[in-house]
Chain A
Amino acid sequence: MTLNLRIWRQKDSHAEGAIESYELPGVSSDMSFLEMLDILNEQLIGKGEEPVSFDHDCREGVCGSCGAMVNGQVHGPDTETTLCQLHMRRFKDGDTLQVEPWRSAAFPVLKDLVVDRSSFDRIQQAGGYVSVATGSPPDANSVPIPKDDAEAAFDYAECIGCGGCVAACPNGAAMLFTAAKVAHLKKLPQGQPERERRVLSMVDTMDKEGFGACTNHYECTAACPKGVPIDAIATMNREYLRATFFSKEGV
């Protein structure tokens, strides 16, 4: 099939970007979206032009590196699918695809479709961890965890940090990402010692990085390639109220 691609091109973080149009013939329906971009880049390189930069690593939907808006939809039209797992059979000959990077004050564009997501790392560093004694690994199952709790914790832990929730949110909020960490560790005994400090400090950092505030559109969870459930955000809100009013943190 032949596609009309309209892709955001931006030289570096200081340059003004713009949408550029490319006609790409010979796209196979078996290609992934990233493979389609690879073909485009081969053509661009052949013509002596600058290839389109995009993030990618595993190309099997587990690492969270890839991502772009396709016709205004995070990771394209499919549900629970990363851009690398989106396949061109989803589109038909002659389609126009508008491809843009995530847009957020906290995710500055570095080049073309590549954005700087280190703000996520700083939120993570603010409390998305547990303190454990180092040394030899503990016996498996030495800390019993009810199966339901383990499964719920895993639903939150599935977050791959791609940033799609921020991109999908009309407010540019990072609540689903942050809440996934808070809700995940709250479910587990290992997460208890830092429970109050974690939520206060992660929300503080999230605000400082310039993300917006949730007004409950629920677009994030619909766009999330891992389907992280929206109740994570309610849990984070509850944890935040609990830590503020019922703990000694911040006295």
Chain B
Amino acid sequence: MLSWIERFVSSSVGRKALMALTGLMLIGFLIAHLAGNLSLFAGDGGTAFDAYAHAISSLPILPIAEVALALLFLGHIYLAVKTTRENRRARPQGYSVTGTHGEKSFASKTMFPTGVVILAFLIKHLWDFRLQKEAFEEAPYASVQQALSDPLTASVYMLGILALGIHLSHAFGSALQSLGANHPKYTPALRAIGKVLAVALTLGFISIPIYFWLGGSSS
């Protein structure tokens, strides 16, 4: 590999830029994913969602998109683990009393733990709907309904989505800074948009397990 590329990906600043880039692309995926999933709420017994699911699964580009998405996740997670490990190594001995001057937040301090919860949820989610692909494609809406009417599954989903919400509340603004995007005219507004986006994605996704837990359109 070219030396300047190696230097970039192994540097703290380069790694953070790549984390930000993969993270922002994952946010883009989440927006599209939620937009599609909202068809679950059509109240038509699942016709709209089934049509949407079939349209997606017959896309010729789907295998490539799936590989790309998996790489985004793996890349983000690899960089997160490496950065977290190096950051722990940078302070081998901690303080006996920890204080603050008021900037670090619950979300900023828990990016790694929330990430791990997201990953656990993701594995469960893939198990439910991707690894049992045949069952899902036969009756998409019914299999969502079946999975989420189980209180345990619905709770795991809600927990995973809450962790995602906390992760996102720090992530968007953080990513802009990591990519060097900071301007007195736009940064305050963009950071606010990031928070709104985090809340909107959390409420949007969490409404799905709640809806089916409460019985969905069949009740």
Shortest C-beta distance, A53 to chain B (Å), equals 18
B100 adjacent to A72 (CB under 8 Å): yes
The listed residue (A216, A223, A231, A250) touching B7 by CB distance below 8 A is: A250
- Whether A100 touches B96, Cβ cut-off 8 Å, given contacts A216-B178, A221-B103, is yes
A171 adjacent to B11 (CB under 8 Å): no
A159: Cβ under 8 A from any B Cβ: no
B185: Cβ under 8 A from any A Cβ: no
Shortest C-beta distance, B50 to chain A (Å), equals 42
A100 adjacent to B87 (CB under 8 Å): no
Which chain B residues lie closer than 8 Å to A100 at the CB level? 95-97
Shortest C-beta distance, A155 to chain B (Å), equals 13
Which chain B residues lie closer than 8 Å to A106 at the CB level? 90
Measured CB to CB, the nearest residue on chain B to A217 is B104
Instruction: Give how many A-B residue pairs fall within 8 Å (CB-CB).
Output: 153
Interface string of B136-159 (1 = CB under 8 A from A): 000000000000000000000000
**What is the number of residues of chain B that contact chain A, defined by CB distance less than 8 Å?**
47
Shortest C-beta distance, B24 to chain A (Å), equals 14
Chain B residues with a Cβ under 8 A of chain A: 3-4, 7-8, 10-17, 83, 86-87, 89-105, 108-109, 111, 170, 173-174, 176-182, 184, 187
Known contacts A203-B13, A211-B90, A214-B16; 12 additional CB pairs below 8 A are: A71-B99, A98-B97, A104-B91, A203-B11, A210-B90, A214-B178, A215-B174, A217-B104, A221-B103, A238-B182, A244-B7, A251-B4
